[in-house]
Each structure stands twice: as C-alpha cells, then as structure tokens.
C-alpha cells in the first residue's frame, strides 16, 4: 500500500490550522514569495509559536502543519533568516526550486598536473622497499 502524500497534505491543509496560509499560497502567481514572520501572522490570523523564531527546522520539517500547508499548495521553504524574521518560499515548479547537479554545488577544480613519479598502480603502492 502506498500513501499519496500530496493528497494527504492537501486534506490536512484544507482543514488544518494553517489553512489560510495554504489558501494564500494557492493565490500567489509568482514562482517565489517572501514574507516577514509578522506578515505570515497577519495572513494566518494568529501568532506563530515561539519555535518559529527560535528553531530553524520548524520551517522545513514535514511533521509540522505549516510545512504541510505549503507542500499542499505546491510550495517549499527556500530560505529562512531567523535574525531578520523573514521566510522565502519557492513554488515546486519554479526554476529556482529544481535540484542542482553536484557540479553546480561543488564545481570541479583542477589542482594542477599529476605529480611526476606519483603512481596509483597497486604494484607501486604495495611494493616492498628495501
């Protein structure tokens, strides 16, 4: 049996505590959306819990209702600045959201030519030297 997480998140978002955030994100047409914590509180109609300002994983852990509301609306948390109390969200189909290749994250670099006389052959590595 497989669980359709998108359907589950949608059901929880429509009926959950963060349904106004879900509805708002469904209305946003841009591929990215940024808001202060205060703006989010205005949208949802109540204060965010203290963990939202103290605990970074609160914004990304799928066990939390607000993250499920974002996922159901087709959004993910992109960046959260705890000091400035801002959050940036990306739509799942946004070019910014796409998975990046490892070469984009850690570009290959050349450290110069192979040192002369250096060998990685097994015979050279395990050669007994007298």
Name which of 87, 83, 56, 54 is nearest 70 in CA terms.
87
- Backbone φ and ψ for 86, nearest 5 degrees, come out as -130, 150
pLDDT tens-digit readout, 58-98: 888 666 888 888 888 888 888 899 999 999 998 887 665 56
Does residue 79 fall inside a structural domain? yes
pLDDT given at position 119: 80
Positive/negative CA dihedral, 64, 66, 68, 71: negative
pLDDT given at position 44: 95
CB 97, CB 105: distance < 8 Å? no
Does residue 51 fall inside a structural domain? yes
Does residue 32 fall inside a structural domain? yes
pLDDT tens-digit readout, 7-46: 777 787 788 899 999 999 999 999 999 999 999 999 999 9
pLDDT band at 100 (very low <50, low <70, confident <90, very high): low
Residue range(s) defining the domain that contains residue 74: 5-98
**In angstroms, rounded to a whole number, what is the distance separating the alpha carbons of residues 116 and 97?**
44
Does residue 89 fall inside a structural domain? yes
Does residue 128 fall inside a structural domain? no
Does residue 22 fall inside a structural domain? yes
Q: Tally the domains of the chain.
A: 1
Residue with tokens 């841009």: 30
Does residue 50 fall inside a structural domain? yes
pLDDT given at position 73: 87
pLDDT given at position 96: 59
């Amino acid at each position: 049996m497989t669980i359709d997480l998108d359907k589950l998140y949608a059901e929880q978002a429509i009926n959950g505590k963060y349904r106004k955030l879900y509805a708002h994100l469904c209305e946003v047409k841009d591929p990215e959306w940024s808001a202060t914590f205060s703006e989010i509180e205005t949208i949802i109609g109540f204060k965010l819990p203290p963990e939202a300002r103290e605990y970074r994983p609160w914004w990304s852990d799928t066990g939390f209702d607000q993250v499920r509301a974002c996922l159901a609306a087709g959004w993910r948390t992109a960046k959260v600045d705890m000091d400035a109390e801002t959050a940036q969200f990306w739509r799942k189909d946004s070019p910014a959201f796409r998975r990046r290749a490892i070469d984009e994250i850690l570009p290959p670099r050349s450290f110069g030519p192979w040192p002369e006389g250096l060998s990685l052959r097994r015979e050279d590595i395990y050669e007994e030297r007298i």
